[in-house]
A and B are shown apart, each in its own frame.
Chain A
Amino acid sequence: MKKMLSIFLVGILLIAGCQTIPKDALTLSPESLAERQMQTRKYETKDEGKILAACAGLLQDMGFNIDESEPNLGLITASKQRSAVNAGQIVAAVIVAALGGGAMPVDKEQKMRASVVTRPIGDQYIAVRVTFQRIVWNTQGQVTKSESISDPAVYQEFFDKLSKAIFLEGQEI
């Protein structure tokens, strides 16, 4: 009986003792340098405004809506909402349902956010750093994923397009 009681008490404490911030939430991770490099390119220009405008145009190309901008600090933030439906989950849900497991929630929609920060390096270069993150909701309205996007291919493509956008805007096509 005593044992049961103590288990019960510990259980209650665990539930009530609310989650606290993870120890590493505000420390620089060993990967942070590599991530910075992946997310940053520098362009040889002095004109920070021009780069920012090109980034705004590029974000629009990618279907983002601009949420906030602060040219004095070199910042643009943008977001978009998209479907998060993926074939694998649908197949799994259908199989579960067919086996009599009832309706399984699947990912439904996601909000994707981007922020672009520009920073002058010396007198010759402007560094551009972009970061993406997303939140995914399932068919029951629960958050199933909230994460940074760290796929190098995403950043590679972004900067390929940015180079083109800067060229285009520079050329005023």
Chain B
Amino acid sequence: MKTRFSLLFFALVVFLAGCATTQQRLLDSESSQVQLRSIQTRAFDTTDKEKTLRTVMATLQDLGFVLDKADATLGTVSATKLKGYALRMTVTIRPRGTTQLLVRANAQYNVQPVTDPEPYQQFFAALEKAMFLTAHQAD
């Protein structure tokens, strides 16, 4: 009897945990903004925005992405990788002070946000190589 109860309870908890309101899904409000930014952002010692954007595009292509769109004025690039899954990434670039650029990437895997640090570390490692520059932690 006890086992059956705990079993039911457990199933209920698991199913309920999978439920989020539209507001939570829309704003991804359960993840920490500060932490997410630090995971997703790196600073590079360059001020050449166009070259950085072009390098980002080349890196995304190397990683198997097909570009969706890019905007030189705003400094954004979006791309999608299809490999049995759909991985969509947006990379934005903005100046930081007078000597650096901040590169920020965010990704969604199928219908989920990517919030693990590791995929971003891998992405910036690939970008570093293509930039011939070191990616500095930005915070």
Q: Which residues of B contact A35 (CB under 8 A)?
A: 62, 64
Asked if A27 and B109 make an inter-chain contact with CB atoms under 8 angstroms apart, the answer reads no
Asked if B70 and A146 make an inter-chain contact with CB atoms under 8 angstroms apart, the answer reads no
Q: Mark A94-124, 1 if CB is under 8 A from B, else 0.
A: 0000000000000000000111010100000
Q: How far is the CB of A138 from chain B (nearest CB, A)?
A: 15
- Known contacts A26-B119, A28-B62, A73-B57; decide if A133 and B82 are in contact (CB<8 Å): yes
Q: Number of B interface residues at 8 Å Cβ cutoff, please give it.
A: 50
Selected from A16, A32, A114, A135, the residue in CB contact (under 8 A) with B62 is: A32
Asked if A12 and B14 make an inter-chain contact with CB atoms under 8 angstroms apart, the answer reads yes
Give A16 to B107 CA distance when docked, in angstroms. Answer: 21
Give A28 to B65 CA distance when docked, in angstroms. Answer: 11
Asked if A25 and B15 make an inter-chain contact with CB atoms under 8 angstroms apart, the answer reads no
Asked if A148 and B66 make an inter-chain contact with CB atoms under 8 angstroms apart, the answer reads yes
Q: How far is the CB of A35 from chain B (nearest CB, A)?
A: 8
Q: Indicate if A57 sits at the interface (CB-CB under 8 A).
A: no
Selected from A28, A32, A68, the residue in CB contact (under 8 A) with B69 is: A68
Q: Indicate if B97 sits at the interface (CB-CB under 8 A).
A: no
Chain A interface size band reads 35 or more
Q: How far is the CB of B67 from chain A (nearest CB, A)?
A: 4
Q: Which residues of A contact B86 (CB under 8 A)?
A: 146
Asked if A119 and B119 make an inter-chain contact with CB atoms under 8 angstroms apart, the answer reads no
Q: How far is the CB of B31 from chain A (nearest CB, A)?
A: 15
Asked if B7 and A70 make an inter-chain contact with CB atoms under 8 angstroms apart, the answer reads no
Q: How far is the CB of A32 from chain B (nearest CB, A)?
A: 5
Asked if B53 and A113 make an inter-chain contact with CB atoms under 8 angstroms apart, the answer reads no
Q: How far is the CB of A38 from chain B (nearest CB, A)?
A: 12
Interface residues of B (CB under 8 A from A): 3, 7, 10-11, 14-15, 17-18, 50, 53-54, 57-58, 61-73, 77, 79-87, 107, 109-110, 112, 114, 116, 118-120, 122-123, 125-126, 129
A21-B109, A32-B63, A135-B82 known, 17 other contacts, Cβ within 8 Å: A5-B7, A13-B14, A19-B85, A20-B116, A21-B87, A26-B123, A28-B63, A32-B64, A36-B62, A72-B50, A73-B54, A73-B72, A77-B68, A117-B67, A129-B58, A134-B82, A146-B85
What are 30 A-to-B residue pairs whose CB atoms are below 8 Å? A9-B7, A9-B10, A12-B10, A16-B14, A18-B112, A20-B109, A21-B109, A21-B119, A26-B119, A26-B126, A35-B62, A39-B61, A67-B68, A67-B69, A73-B50, A73-B72, A73-B77, A75-B67, A113-B80, A114-B66, A115-B66, A117-B57, A117-B58, A117-B61, A117-B67, A119-B54, A131-B61, A133-B80, A133-B82, A148-B82
